[in-house]
């Protein structure tokens, strides 16, 4: 399908840092420097979008931007400055567990009250909210497994073998129609969304951008391989119960068979993946490199931190009856009639 091959267009800037990065990639001006890079909210739209754009050069890039910009030294210096701020904030703000087992145990604890995003969508979510959720999550799911694949050359033995086995499942087990990114594109089609890669970047605020930036940050740095494994564990362990609730939300709202299937598939697959990741990926890594224990715990904790920030944003907006997006979905080609989002002021 065409959307599987297309690169996303450069997004609209959201402040001086992202404006400078976009301007540089268009060969229309200098990169941001000094005070611009040091100022602004580290979790805000401007910095997170600038970082996302820098990382996207390592995925599919942007039309009209030369491929060799991926390793442009000046751009890498800007990216490093933004990464330093983001990583420092995560180390300061994320809840800290002393050990991996304690961090993993907390992931398995369901809240007494149904307060999470998937609980909300399962119990009372409307179709427009499911469409918004899918649009935001498409920034990751249409590159699903890609950021985690970067860790494979940095592992060996049992951890490498187990990680490769899970990734093989994520990539469809050798069947292109079963690649999870393709299954999510089918889900988007059921929901009347445009399944083109990166289509909803302009609609996504800082919180969903940060969840994807976290994966890219951990995946691109060998020194953060333990954090990447921790992140991967957090994703796999929380996926199965969350996917069960989302599958029910899709059935309840009549979203469509492909929308239901994506999450039904993850209920079963990720329940198996959880055990492999816990016992063989984490266990194998820490058997070989026990000094990475704090990094694995940090990866789990940082993931919880950025996901909690996204959940708070979505629930605050949806419970107030307003859209959680920066740009309305109704402009998307093929948008389903009768599923319009509320007005975005």
Both tokens assigned to 6 = 């297309």
Q: Are residues 230 and 316 in the same domain?
A: yes
Whole-angstrom Cα Rg for the chain = 19
Q: What is the number of structural domains in the chain?
A: 2
The CA–CA distances, whole Å, from 215 to 223, 232, 284, 336 equal 14, 9, 21, 31
| Residue 166 lies inside a defined structural domain of this protein | yes
Q: Does residue 140 have a pLDDT over 90?
A: yes
Q: Are residues 127 and 86 in the same domain?
A: no
For residues 139 and 200, the answer to whether their CB atoms sit within 8 Å is: yes
| Residue 344 lies inside a defined structural domain of this protein | no
> Of 92, 107, 139, which residue is a domain's last?
92
Residue 260 structural domain: 98-331
Q: Where are the alpha helices (DSSP H) in 61-179?
A: 73-93, 100-107, 117-123, 127-141, 146-149, 157-170
pLDDT of the residue at 81: 97
> Of 92, 121, 155, which residue is a domain's last?
92
Q: Does residue 225 have a pLDDT over 80?
A: yes
Predicted confidence band of residue 107 (pLDDT cuts 50, 70, 90): confident
Segment 275-331, tens digit of pLDDT: 899 899 999 999 999 999 999 999 999 999 999 999 999 999 999 999 999 998 864
pLDDT of the residue at 266: 85
Q: Annotate 240-282 with DSSP letters as a single string.
A: HHHHHHHHHHHHHHT--HHHHHHHHHHHHHHHHHHHHIIIIII
| Residue 339 lies inside a defined structural domain of this protein | no
Q: Are residues 235 and 272 in the same domain?
A: yes
pLDDT of the residue at 338: 42
Coil vs helix vs strand at 61: coil
Segment 191-209, tens digit of pLDDT: 999 999 999 999 999 999 9
For residues 154 and 254, the answer to whether their CB atoms sit within 8 Å is: no
Residue 158's CATH number: 1.20.910.10
Q: Is 29 left (phi over 0), alpha (psi -120 to 50) or beta?
A: left
Q: Are residues 155 and 226 in the same domain?
A: yes
Q: Does residue 332 have a pLDDT over 60?
A: no
Q: Does residue 110 have a pLDDT over 50?
A: yes
Predicted confidence band of residue 4 (pLDDT cuts 50, 70, 90): low
Coil vs helix vs strand at 217: helix
| Residue 249 lies inside a defined structural domain of this protein | yes
Nearest CA to 282 out of 94, 100, 154 is that of 100
Q: Are residues 214 and 274 in the same domain?
A: yes
Q: Does residue 104 have a pLDDT over 90?
A: no
pLDDT of the residue at 315: 97
Other CB atoms closer than 10 Å to residue 114's CB: what's the count? 13
> Of 92, 122, 139, which residue is a domain's last?
92
| Residue 337 lies inside a defined structural domain of this protein | no
Q: Are residues 124 and 78 in the same domain?
A: no
| Residue 106 lies inside a defined structural domain of this protein | yes
For residues 342 and 128, the answer to whether their CB atoms sit within 8 Å is: yes
Q: Are residues 77 and 7 in the same domain?
A: yes
pTM here?
A: 0.93
Segment 30-53, tens digit of pLDDT: 999 999 999 999 999 999 999 999
Q: Are residues 227 and 246 in the same domain?
A: yes
Mean pLDDT, to the nearest integer, of 227-233?
96
pLDDT of the residue at 158: 96
Burial of 221 (0-12, 13-18, 19+ CB in 10 A): middle
Q: Are residues 136 and 271 in the same domain?
A: yes
| Residue 343 lies inside a defined structural domain of this protein | no
Q: Does residue 273 have a pLDDT over 90?
A: no
Q: Are residues 208 and 303 in the same domain?
A: yes
Q: Does residue 260 have a pLDDT over 50?
A: yes
User: What mean pLDDT value characterizes the chain?
Assistant: 91
Predicted confidence band of residue 12 (pLDDT cuts 50, 70, 90): very high
Q: Annotate 172-211 with DSSP letters as a single string.
A: GGG-GGG-HHHHHHHHHHHTT---STTTTTTT--HHHHHH
Predicted confidence band of residue 268 (pLDDT cuts 50, 70, 90): confident
pLDDT of the residue at 265: 87
Q: Is 234 left (phi over 0), alpha (psi -120 to 50) or beta?
A: alpha
Cα–Cα distance between 5 and 266 in angstroms, integer? 24
Q: Are residues 103 and 238 in the same domain?
A: yes
Both tokens assigned to 47 = 């910095």
pLDDT of the residue at 1: 47
Q: Read off φ and ψ for residue 204, nearest 5 degrees.
A: -90, 130
Q: Does residue 111 have a pLDDT over 60?
A: no
Mean pLDDT, to the nearest integer, of 324-345?
62
| Residue 147 lies inside a defined structural domain of this protein | yes
Q: Are residues 77 and 129 in the same domain?
A: no
């Amino acid at each position: 399908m065409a959307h599987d091959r297309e690169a996303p267009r450069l997004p609209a800037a959201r402040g001086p840092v992202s404006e400078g990065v976009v301007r540089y990639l268009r060969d229309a001006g200098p990169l941001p420097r000094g005070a611009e890079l040091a100022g602004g909210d580290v979790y805000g739209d401007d910095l997170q979008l600038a970082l996302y754009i820098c990382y996207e050069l390592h995925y599919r890039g942007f039309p009209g931007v030369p491929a060799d910009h991926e390793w442009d030294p000046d751009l890498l210096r800007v990216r490093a400055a933004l990464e330093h701020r983001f990583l420092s904030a995560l180390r300061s703000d994320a809840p800290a567990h002393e050990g991996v087992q304690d961090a993993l145990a907390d992931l398995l604890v369901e809240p007494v009250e149904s307060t999470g995003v998937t609980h909300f969508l399962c119990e009372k979510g409307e179709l427009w909210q499911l469409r918004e959720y899918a649009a935001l999550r498409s920034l990751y799911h249409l590159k699903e497994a890609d950021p985690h694949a970067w860790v494979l050359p940095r592992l060996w033995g049992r951890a490498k073998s187990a990680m490769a086995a899970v990734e093989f499942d994520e990539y469809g087990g050798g069947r292109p129609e079963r690649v999870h990114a393709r299954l999510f594109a089918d889900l988007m089609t059921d929901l009347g969304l445009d399944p083109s890669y990166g289509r909803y970047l302009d609609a996504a605020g800082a919180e969903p951008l940060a969840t994807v930036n976290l994966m890219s940050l951990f995946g691109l740095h060998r020194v953060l391989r333990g954090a990447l494994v921790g992140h991967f564990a957090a994703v796999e362990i929380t996926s199965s119960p969350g996917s069960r609730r989302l599958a029910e939300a899709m059935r309840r709202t009549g979203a469509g068979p492909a929308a239901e299937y994506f999450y039904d598939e993850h209920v079963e697959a990720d329940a198996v993946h959880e055990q492999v990741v816990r016992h063989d990926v984490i266990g194998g890594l820490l058997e070989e490199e026990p000094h990475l224990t704090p990094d694995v715990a940090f990866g789990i904790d940082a993931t919880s931190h950025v996901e909690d920030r996204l959940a708070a944003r979505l629930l605050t907006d949806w419970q107030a009856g307003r859209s959680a997006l920066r740009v309305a979905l109704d402009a998307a080609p093929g948008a389903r009639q009768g599923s319009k989002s509320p007005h975005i002021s």
